[in-house]
């Protein structure tokens, strides 16, 4: 099963045993990063072996941190379609644009890749209660996986969370606390609460070292779909953006395993209204400072103070010769519409990579011959209110043929 051997602090490099229950480094509070015996993995994992396994993140089980197979909690997460673009790519003159539709995950967002792992880890470690703070998608996902595992889940969300996400959390049976503040306020209160309750509850919030490992599967799946090759670019919506960090780690592992020979450039995309990683990137800084922020329709990306997650993202961007890009609210709407025209129903947060791609092409950073993957991270069903402002559903017509004739003529005129 897993080839997990230890955890390493990403700040001071201290090594901890794989059985540790600590979420952060006891010396410096750095994030912990699971390490694997890649020599062992090399002897069992080939593209042929992987292709014979069912499509889900667990296809890559040697590179995920769950050691006891019986503890795996799965709803079939991952293995989402990499769809060739038929509108946006050709409109930009880009020959090889793919959209990874991660809204096709079991609860409709990217979070299933990581929450499946953390729920499995909670079972393996024997916890009964699992918790997180969230802008909505993470909590909905955790609620589903906790239900599946028979765990109690406890979630903390801001009052700005879209109602569809709140309904989803409660429907799966999660215990939900809606706090009358914004996403940043929830993060601060949750961190304080967890300092007092961390022994009893399994915290699957921003510090959990195991959950992010699920995001490495972006690298594995994209490389597999592109015939054992990395694309030139991968663009991802970014809040704390461990997705970018772990995609980079995943490609590093594939390279060390001899499964790919190149790595992609990575783009982290944030809304202009809340773009701390972009601000640090533009200044050439190595650390991310908190920013003043405004509300954004990309609510999943409303994280003005990503802390050391942001620093790690900057590092992954630098190492991959990538970019951090900010997009305006109007551009997000445009990106969402462009995806709808491709037949991909995205929520605003999921759509930010499309205008970012346009910007990077206009600047000549992405070239027409490049192979690009835009990750679309959440389905439109997650945030119908934002969508209602953008589309106009026609009123009913009388139930008679003449009315149908009139309506269809008007529609097709």
Ligand X SMILES: Cc1ncc(COP(=O)(O)O)c(C=O)c1O
Contacts of 277 by beta carbon, 8 Å cutoff, 6+ apart: 238, 241, 268, 270, 288, 306, 310, 313, 314, 324
Buried-exposed string 182-219: b where 16+ CB fall within 10 A, e elsewhere: bbbebbeebeebbeeeeeebbbbbbbbbbbbbbbbbbb
Q: How many residues does the chain have?
A: 413
Question: Per CB under 6 A, which region of 132-140, 219-227, 272-280, 283-291 contacts ligand X?
Answer: 132-140
* Region of 63 on the Ramachandran plot (φ > 0 left; ψ -120 to 50 alpha; else beta): alpha
14/254 Cα distance (integer angstroms) = 24
CB of 300 to ligand X, least distance (A): 3
**Sole binder of ligand X in the list 120, 131, 137, 320 (CB under 6 A):** 137
State the residue number with the nearest CB to ligand X.
300
Ranges within 160-189 binding ligand X (CB under 6 A)? none
Task: Confirm or reject binding of residue 234 to ligand X (CB under 6 A).
Answer: no
Element (DSSP H or E) covering residue 195: helix 183-197
Binding mask 108-127 for ligand X (x = CB under 6 A): -xx-----------------
Instruction: Look up residue 71 and give its DSSP letter.
Output: G
Smaller CB separation from ligand X, 111 or 259 = 111
Task: Confirm or reject binding of residue 64 to ligand X (CB under 6 A).
Answer: no
Number of residues this chain uses to bind ligand X (CB under 6 A): 18
CB of 224 to ligand X, least distance (A): 21
Contact predicate 114/211, CB 8 Å: yes
Smaller CB separation from ligand X, 223 or 332 = 332
Task: Confirm or reject binding of residue 158 to ligand X (CB under 6 A).
Answer: no
**Sole binder of ligand X in the list 378, 380, 386, 387 (CB under 6 A):** 378
Task: Give me the sheet containing 371-376, strands edge to edge.
Answer: 82-84, 96-101, 371-376, 233-237, 265-271, 323-327
CA 22 to chain centre: 24
CB of 203 to ligand X, least distance (A): 15
Smaller CB separation from ligand X, 66 or 242 = 242
Smaller CB separation from ligand X, 121 or 246 = 246
Task: Confirm or reject binding of residue 240 to ligand X (CB under 6 A).
Answer: yes
Question: Per CB under 6 A, which region of 86-94, 131-139, 226-234, 289-297 contacts ligand X?
Answer: 131-139
273/267 Cα distance (integer angstroms) = 18
| Residues forming the site for ligand X (CB under 6 A) | 109-110, 135, 137-138, 237-243, 300-301, 349-350, 377-378
């Amino acid at each position: 099963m897993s080839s997990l051997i230890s955890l390493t602090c990403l700040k001071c490099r201290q090594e901890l045993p794989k059985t540790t229950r600590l979420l952060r480094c006891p010396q410096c509070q750095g994030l912990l990063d699971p390490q694997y015996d890649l020599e062992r993995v090399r002897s069992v994992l080939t593209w042929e072996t992987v292709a014979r396994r069912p499509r889900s993140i667990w296809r890559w089980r040697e590179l995920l941190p769950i050691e006891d197979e019986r503890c795996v909690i799965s709803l079939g997460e991952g293995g989402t379609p990499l769809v060739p673009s038929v509108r946006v790519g050709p409109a930009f003159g880009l020959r090889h644009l793919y959209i990874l539709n991660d809204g096709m995950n079991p609860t409709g967002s990217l979070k299933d890749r990581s929450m499946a792992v953390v729920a499995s880890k909670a079972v393996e470690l024997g916890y009964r209660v699992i918790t997180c703070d969230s802008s909505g998608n993470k909590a909905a996902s955790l609620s589903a996986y906790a239900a599946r595992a028979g765990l109690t889940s406890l979630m903390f969300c801001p009052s700005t969370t879209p109602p569809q996400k709140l309904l989803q959390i409660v429907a799966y049976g999660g215990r939900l606390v809606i706090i009358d503040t914004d996403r940043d306020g929830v993060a601060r209160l949750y961190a304080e609460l967890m300092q007092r309750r961390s022994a009893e509850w399994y915290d699957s919030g921003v510090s959990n070292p195991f959950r992010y490992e699920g995001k490495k599967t972006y690298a594995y799946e994209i490389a597999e779909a592109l015939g054992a090759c990395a694309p030139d670019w991968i663009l991802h919506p970014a809040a704390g953006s461990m997705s970018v960090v772990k995609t980079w780690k995943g490609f590093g592992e594939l390279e060390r395993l001899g499964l790919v020979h190149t790595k992609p450039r990575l783009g982290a995309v944030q809304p202009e209204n809340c773009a701390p990683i972009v601000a640090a990137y533009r200044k050439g800084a190595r650390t991310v400072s908190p920013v003043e922020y405004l509300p954004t329709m990309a609510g999943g990306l409303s994280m003005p103070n990503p802390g050391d997650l942001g620093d790690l993202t900057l590092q992954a961007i630098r190492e991959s010769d990538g970019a951090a890009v900010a997009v305006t609210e109007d551009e997000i709407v445009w990106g969402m519409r462009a995806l709808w025209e491709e037949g991909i129903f995205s929520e605003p947060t999921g759509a930010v990579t499309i205008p970012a791609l346009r910007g990077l092409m206009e600047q000549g950073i992405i070239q027409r011959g490049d192979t690009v993957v835009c990750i679309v991270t959440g389905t439109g069903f997650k945030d119908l209110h934002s969508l209602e402002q953008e589309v106009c559903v026609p009123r009913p017509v009388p139930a008679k043929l003449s009315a149908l004739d009139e309506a269809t003529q008007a529609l097709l005129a």
